Structure 1
């Protein structure tokens, strides 16, 4: 495959807005620090544990696909 690979985009901000939830509240519900949540939501994370993804989905009442998407750019 030629060219650069796409990237995974994290849309936590979108779900936070839809749920009218603050970042601090989400971090507390998920059990991670606000700093680590910021790394994830700003797209700087290199990986995410499935347990963290599941906790995010539970706290935001959503599916993984609501939080993550592939961008071919």
Structure 2
């Protein structure tokens, strides 16, 4: 898929644990893990907004578009 989730990078920049973010935004750690790994096919705007608010970032800080030729995952 040409969209890459960079949630792990933003968590590291903000020095926040996945567990803390999941608790803060009200989703399970398992679902957050799936988001981080890019194994989900979609994310609700409500969830994306909650993540951005908790991490003080923009959606573009979390999502990256790449062409399928350069995407190895």
TM above 0.5, one fold? yes
**Residue aligning to 1:47:** 42
- Give distance in 2, aligned partners of 1:59 and 1:15: 11
Distance in structure 2 (CA, Å) of the matches to 1:69 and 1:19:
18
Structure 1 gaps of 5+ residues are 1-5
Give SS of 1:25's match. helix
The structure 1 segments of at least 4 consecutive aligned residues displaced by more than 6 Å after TM superposition are none
* Aligned pair partner of 2:24 in 17, 20, 29: 29
- Give the equivalent residue in structure 2 for 1:57: 52
Equivalence for 1:66: 61
Question: Cα RMSD (Å) of the superposition?
Answer: 0.8
Matches of 1:44 and 1:11, distance apart in 2: 13
Given the alignment of the two structures, is residue 16 of structure 1 paired with residue 15 of structure 2, yes or no? no
Larger radius of gyration: 1
CA distance in 2, matches of 1:38, 1:31: 13
